[in-house]
């Protein structure tokens, strides 16, 4: 499919008039670069003035398109910023009314304000998602146009010039950073949900949650719940990779294109909340029109993992694991390496060491001691002098004693990522739903040398860890979503081992061909919305809030749900149904009648309802070909007698009146109350509004010469003379043996000639003309009639004699 068609599908339908004119610019490039007749040919060794002029014109066109799109993107980002500020101010006013009594119920009116505020935030999130999709589509369009110019001309000067002068500018829309907007959006959504949950919970429910049964403490769901409850990012990462699967546990992995990361974040925030409510800028740009800006061009990695094992042993184990075992085999752990150390830029590390298939040991490690655990001799001398303290030496020695029990184990590689962590808003006693989104993934062999081989993963990786019943069918929703591509059985450990070591007998990953492909898919076609019920990007309803205190799953939003919400929550009645009804002071309207299925007929109107309805319109003034033929035939024999009326002459011969004057006079004409009749007062009023010198009628123009002789008279007299001439020729050239046939033909011709002559004479007599043209026509008709009678009599006498 050509990108011109793809552009209209990938972009936002409501913003289509802001798209780049891709097809027009592409045709402009093609017309000026395709050789043909009348086009000059460049001489080798000399500059092509025509090509240079075309390149400058194309640069100006692209610059104008870029400026227009940047203006729209900047204004839209500012609009989103103002909507977030407005939502923050509303939330501040709403939170000030919250009482300090924790066991007091929430009034219905305030709960509805929570609902409306959250729906407004979700619509703002859809705007952010739409803006990210629009920017990515336009950026790709510019890149493809520059690529086509380079392909068809062989010159890379325009591309380098446009990148240096336009795209590299910090004010370019391609440098838009939506991270600050996502920060504020996530924080506001988290605050409104947490405020609702804090007001909904009571002391009894908190006590019930804190006192879980002891027999459930060791389940995988509870271990994950404990990990994210501590607030530590390293503990959460370790738990996701090291906690074994239960019977209802699963791990799903998705590839995400860099252009779809912002859209995916907004989608995830409808079902998750950020762990510790923190977002980082994941775009590859820095400038932002909002008040919060980022000066970092590429997000620095903040999560690290050091894998230690034997290359041959790890390769054998990775080859033996099936896809089903990687995703949801009971008792298996996602981590396959014997030891791994995970840490972040602001937290210390945790070492996880496997003992067999079932036992796992975790040991805390300080970040500055990570390199000493496996390679103490590789530390610089200055740092070695710094760690002479006995306490630190004992700690490192104790950790090394745990990992040195496995002979041959050494540090293999390090994986650094920019990780975002999500916790499902439905996570509770029945199940846990966690997610991690890794971007800017870099794999490097263990060591600190500058020439250490590295490998960059081209896509972002989304992992969904589920234990128990989460109350939502999120995996099915993501499997059918155009933003992600599910890869069953994917393992980042497996991929890093292949990219950095390529062990003998190690099978290449089956997802390698996907890494060189464009995994972006076309979004579904936009649905037609009635009225303003849907937002630009298809406003999604609120997801269900996490609440440990109620079994009914009451949420802060009970209205404006979409298909992404949980089905059991859709059955909750609206909040206004619990309010006491006020006595009406006006007559109640009759109850609406139930809509019944009716059969279609030709009188149906699409505006009455029904998207598939249509009508058949028959033009009452339409004329068929047969009707037109008879009208023309009748017009031939129509009298051309009486002249037009004086009023008709006056309207045609009067001076021209402007349309504005006609409109003004029509507006001042009073409406007629005589339906079906002609009113004379209207014409009198209209003529009184027109100046007198315009209403003076010109004298009638003299009739043209052709109008003095009726058309039917001319046809009949001409036919009479022609037939008589043919009769004379037939009588003079016929042979003797055909005398009977010739006499019959001559007699018939004479009769027809006399009939035409008489008809022509009668049409002149019945015309009733008052001007001098009637005498001329009558004289001609009399002469032709007399001549026809005389010649016909002579021809008959000659035949008889």
Task: Give residue 769's pLDDT.
Answer: 53
543 CA to centre of own chain: 23
How much is the average pLDDT of 469-476?
Answer: 80
Listed residue (399, 400, 440, 443) closest to 420, CA to CA: 440
φ/ψ bin of 648: left (φ > 0), alpha (ψ from -120 to 50), beta (otherwise)? alpha
Residue written as tokens 């085999």?
329
Q: What is the pLDDT of residues 299-308, one digit of tens each?
A: 689 999 999 8
What is the DSSP secondary-structure string of 730-757?
Answer: HHHH--GGGHHHHHHHHHHHHHHHHHHH
Task: Give residue 515's pLDDT.
Answer: 93
Provide the 8-state DSSP code for 671: P
DSSP β-bridge partners for residue 366 = none
**How much is the mean pLDDT over the chain?**
73
How much is the average pLDDT of 44-73?
Answer: 86
Q: What is the pLDDT of residues 558-586, one digit of tens each?
A: 333 333 333 333 344 444 444 444 544 44
Query: How far apart, in Å, are the Cα atoms of 91 and each of 115, 380, 750?
Result: 11, 53, 108
Separation of alpha carbons 361 and 242, rounded Å: 10
| Range of lowest pLDDT (67-81, 193-207, 230-244) | 193-207
Contact 293, 286 (CB under 8 A): yes
Task: Give residue 296's pLDDT.
Answer: 35
Rounded to a whole number of angstroms, the distance between the first and last alpha carbons of the chain is 92
Provide the 8-state DSSP code for 14: G
Listed residue (423, 421, 487, 422) closest to 457, CA to CA: 487
How much is the average pLDDT of 600-618?
Answer: 53
Query: How far apart, in Å, are the Cα atoms of 313 and each of 172, 323, 373?
Result: 51, 19, 20
Q: What is the pLDDT of residues 223-257, one digit of tens each?
A: 888 888 888 899 999 999 988 888 888 899 999 99
Q: pLDDT tier at 73 (50, 70, 90 boundaries)? A: very high
Separation of alpha carbons 121 and 185, rounded Å: 7
Task: Give residue 663's pLDDT.
Answer: 37
How much is the average pLDDT of 78-98?
Answer: 85
Q: What is the length of the chain?
A: 801
Separation of alpha carbons 418 and 103, rounded Å: 41
Listed residue (565, 562, 561, 560) closest to 543, CA to CA: 565
Listed residue (546, 326, 266, 551) closest to 423, CA to CA: 546
Share of the chain above pLDDT 90, in %: 24
How much is the average pLDDT of 619-630?
Answer: 72
Whether residue 511 has pLDDT greater than 50 = yes
Torsion from C-alpha of 771, 775, 776, 781, nearest 10 degrees? 130
């Amino acid at each position: 499919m050509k990108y011109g068609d793809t552009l209209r599908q990938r972009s936002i339908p409501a913003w289509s008039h802001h798209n780049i004119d891709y097809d027009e610019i592409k045709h402009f490039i093609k017309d000026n670069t395709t050789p043909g007749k009348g086009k000059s040919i460049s001489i080798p060794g000399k500059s092509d003035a025509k090509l240079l002029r075309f390149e400058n014109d194309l640069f100006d066109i692209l610059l104008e398109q870029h400026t227009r799109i940047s203006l729209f993107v900047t204004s839209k980002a500012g609009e989103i910023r103002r909507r977030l500020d407005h939502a923050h101010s509303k939330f501040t006013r709403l939170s000030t009314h919250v009482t300090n009594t924790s066991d007091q119920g929430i009034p219905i009116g305030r709960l509805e304000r929570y609902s409306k505020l959250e729906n407004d935030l979700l619509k703002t999130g859809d705007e952010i998602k739409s803006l990210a999709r629009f920017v990515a589509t336009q950026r790709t369009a510019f890149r493809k146009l520059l690529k086509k110019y380079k392909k068809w001309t062989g010159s890379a000067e325009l591309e380098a010039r446009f990148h240096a002068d336009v795209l590299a500018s910090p004010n370019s829309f391609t440098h838009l950073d939506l991270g600050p907007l996502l920060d504020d959006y996530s924080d506001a959504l988290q605050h409104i949900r947490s405020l609702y949950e804090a007001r909904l919970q009571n002391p009894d429910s908190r006590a019930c949650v804190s006192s879980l049964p002891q027999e459930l403490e060791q389940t995988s769901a509870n271990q994950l719940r404990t990990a994210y409850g501590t607030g530590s990012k390293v503990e959460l990462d370790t738990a996701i990779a090291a906690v074994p699967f239960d019977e209802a546990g699963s791990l799903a992995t998705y590839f995400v294109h860099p252009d779809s990361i912002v859209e995916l974040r907004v989608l995830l925030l409808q079902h998750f909340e950020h762990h510790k409510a923190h977002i980082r800028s994941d775009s590859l740009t820095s400038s932002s029109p909002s008040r919060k800006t980022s000066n970092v061009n590429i997000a620095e990695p903040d999560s690290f993992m050091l894998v230690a094992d034997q290359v041959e042993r790890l390769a054998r184990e990775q080859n033996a694991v099936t896809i089903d075992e990687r995703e949801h085999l009971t008792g298996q752990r996602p981590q396959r390496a014997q030891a791994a150390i995970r840490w972040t830029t602001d937290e210390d590390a945790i070492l996880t060491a496997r003992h067999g298939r079932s036992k796992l040991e975790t040991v805390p490690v300080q970040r500055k001691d990570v390199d000493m655990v496996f390679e103490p001799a590789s530390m610089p001398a200055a740092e070695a002098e710094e760690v002479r303290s006995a306490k630190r030496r004992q700690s490192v020695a104790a950790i090394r004693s745990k990992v040195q029990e496995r002979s041959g184990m050494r540090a293999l590689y390090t994986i650094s990522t920019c990780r975002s962590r999500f916790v499902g808003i439905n996570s509770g006693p029945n199940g846990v739903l966690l997610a991690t989104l890794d971007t800017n993934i870099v794999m490097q062999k263990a060591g600190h040398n500058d020439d250490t081989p590295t490998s960059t993963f081209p896509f972002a990786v989304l992992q969904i860890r589920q234990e128990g019943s989460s109350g939502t069918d999120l995996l099915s929703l993501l499997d059918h979503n155009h933003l992600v591509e599910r890869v069953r059985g994917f393992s980042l450990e497996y991929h890093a081992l292949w990219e950095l070591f390529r062990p003998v007998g190690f099978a290449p990953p089956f997802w390698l061909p996907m890494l060189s492909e464009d995994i972006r898919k076309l979004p579904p076609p936009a649905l037609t919305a009635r009225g303003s019920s849907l937002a630009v990007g298809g406003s999604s309803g609120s997801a269900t809030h996490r609440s440990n205190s109620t079994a009914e799953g009451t949420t802060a939003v009970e209205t404006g749900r979409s298909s992404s919400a949980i089905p059991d929550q859709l059955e909750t009645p609206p909040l206004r149904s619990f309010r006491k009804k006020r006595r009406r002071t006006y007559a109640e309207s009759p109850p609406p009648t139930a809509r019944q299925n009716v059969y279609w007929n030709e009188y149906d109107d699409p505006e009455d309802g029904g998207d598939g309805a249509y009508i058949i319109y028959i033009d009452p003034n339409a004329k068929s070909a047969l009707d037109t033929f008879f009208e023309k035939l009748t017009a031939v024999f129509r009298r051309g007698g009486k002249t037009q009326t004086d009023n008709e002459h006056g309207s045609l011969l009067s001076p021209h009146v402007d349309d504005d004057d006609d409109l003004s006079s029509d507006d001042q004409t009073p409406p007629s109350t005589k339906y079906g009749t002609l009113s004379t007062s209207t014409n009198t009023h209209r003529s009184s509004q027109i100046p007198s010198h315009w209403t003076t009628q010109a004298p009638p123009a003299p009739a043209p010469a052709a109008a003095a002789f009726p058309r039917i008279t001319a046809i009949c007299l001409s036919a009479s003379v022609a037939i008589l001439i043919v009769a004379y020729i037939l009588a003079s050239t016929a042979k003797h043996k055909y005398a009977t046939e010739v006499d019959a033909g001559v007699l018939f011709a004479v009769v027809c000639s006399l009939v035409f002559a008489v008809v022509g004479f009668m049409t002149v007599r019945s015309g009733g003309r008052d001007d001098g043209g009637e005498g001329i026509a009558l004289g001609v008709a009399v002469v032709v009639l007399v001549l026809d009678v005389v010649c016909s009599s002579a021809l008959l006498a000659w035949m008889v004699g």
